[in-house]
Amino acid sequence: MCDQELLDFSVLIEEKLNLGENLIQDLTRFRSVDGVGKLEKRIQSELKHLRKLQASPGGIKKEWISSSNLGSLNAIVDILMKCHDPVSVLKPFRTEFEPTNRLEVDVISDGGNTWHKAVARNAKALQDISLGKTSCGQKSAVDQAKTYLQCAQRFPHHFKVPQVVFWFANNVTKHLASKLTSLGIKVEGDIQVFDEDSSEETSQDDSDVEDSEEESIPPVIIHQEVEELFLDITCMVAYVSSMTNGDAQHNFRRPFYKIQAEQERVRPVKPELEALFQRHGQRLVTCQSALVDFQGLVETISGPEERRRSLDLIRRLRIVPDSPSDSVLGLKLTSSCKPRSRVIFGTADKLCMAVVTANTGFIRSAACQGKNIAHFAHEPRVLAEQEVKSDLKLIGTQ
């Protein structure tokens, strides 16, 4: 190997090392996104491999550098930087149609409504794979798209199938983009048109591939947007609590109340709930069991203003009978998964409604048993009006 080649490879490795370091720096603003730590570890692993190559005394082969996965990881970070409201990165889903029984979605954004697949290969390579011109048995972008669509249908977000987006970092041919779009995939990235000779060469093969694939295209199920929200007991309590309606400034004596007041001053819950209710057209629902238990709490430990707010809230609710789904009713009872919660969350599940709740213990318990509950989580708040009065009485007697 000549000195010039060694110099070129050294420069190439240095460029990739700089790219990796920049990617890690870019990820610092996404620490709160689930899976970002996993992505960072993969980048660090690639950097470690490149540094070993850089220090290798036996010389460097070009294919060793080109085999780096930094290009794919860079594409994932690009998506993360551009998308709206990312919630997860490298999210695994169980499947029955992958050899590993597992599909890893590169980025999930829009609060869970959009799945992104990063594609780092160049347009020509992707086209060749889709036409079966490689001998490696690699899955084509079309095959990957079908897998993504099937998985998205199995794992809806708030009862709506996620939109699947393929992001092509190094261009995509017009033919392949059209094929993916016809399947229901949203294509992002620059469209590359081959010259006329290439187009003529592949046109017949393209039509043959289309004919053979047409029967196996999975249907794209479109769910209507769910407008109604299901309120559980914890949500109704938080909404009417004096803690979320002005009393967070009170200096509570008991630690439990004091902690919640401190949290409320930093992260007010009611504006969050009001905004959520507004987005869903103020269409609020609860079930009979949740209502009865909520009313029992209000009658027992609330103050007059909390009772007034609870009556106002109940007038806005549509009350439905208890009718839990079999999948939730069949969950194993645990310390976090109680019979009453199964009925309440199960009724929301049967009605295909997202639950607004602070009971994240039940959500986690159900998830551990393979049941995902559509929900919007908020911090818990307790009824506090009587506690404020009790504190003030003690102060008055001192």
Name the architecture of domain 229-397. 3-Layer(aba) Sandwich (3.40)
For residue 221, count other CB atoms closer than 10 A to its CB: 12
For residue 224, what pLDDT is reported? 45
For residue 222, what pLDDT is reported? 40
Q: What is the residue whose two structure tokens read 């007041």? A: 261
Phi then psi for residue 309, to 5 deg, are: -65, -35
Mean pLDDT, range 268-287, rounded to an integer: 95
Mean pLDDT, range 91-101, rounded to an integer: 76
Give the confidence band of 99 by pLDDT, cuts at 50, 70, 90: low
For residue 261, what pLDDT is reported? 96
Cα 229 to Cα 223: distance, rounded to the nearest angstrom: 16
Cβ contacts of residue 260 below 8 Å, gap of 6+? 243, 380, 381, 382, 384
Mean pLDDT, range 336-358, rounded to an integer: 96
In this predicted structure, the answer to whether residue 216 has a pLDDT above a threshold of 50 is: no
For residue 389, what pLDDT is reported? 87
In this predicted structure, the answer to whether residue 212 has a pLDDT above a threshold of 70 is: no
For residue 22, what pLDDT is reported? 95
Pair 84, 54: CB distance under 8 Å: no
Pair 202, 130: CB distance under 8 Å: no
For residue 200, what pLDDT is reported? 40
For residue 209, count other CB atoms closer than 10 A to its CB: 18
Mean pLDDT, range 1-27, rounded to an integer: 76
Please identify, in words, the CATH class of the domain defined by 71-222: alpha beta
Tokens describing residue 223: 């769910």
- Give tens-digit pLDDT for 238-260: 999 999 999 999 999 999 999 99
Residue that wins the pLDDT comparison between 133 and 94: 94
Q: What is the residue whose two structure tokens read 């809806």? A: 156
Mean pLDDT, range 263-276, rounded to an integer: 96
For residue 31, what pLDDT is reported? 92
- Domain locations in the chain as residue ranges: 1-68, 71-222, 229-397
- Give tens-digit pLDDT for 112-163: 999 999 998 888 888 878 777 665 667 889 999 999 999 999 888 888 899 9
Buried-state track 287-310, b at ≥16 Cβ within 10 A, e below 16:
bebbbebbbebbeeebbeebbebb
Tokens describing residue 117: 């697949």
Give the confidence band of 315 by pLDDT, cuts at 50, 70, 90: very high
Q: What is the pTM of this model?
A: 0.70
Phi then psi for residue 366, to 5 deg, are: -65, -40
- Give tens-digit pLDDT for 164-177: 999 999 999 988 99
For residue 216, count other CB atoms closer than 10 A to its CB: 9
Mean pLDDT, range 198-207, rounded to an integer: 45
Cβ contacts of residue 244 below 8 Å, gap of 6+? 238, 264, 268, 269, 270, 381
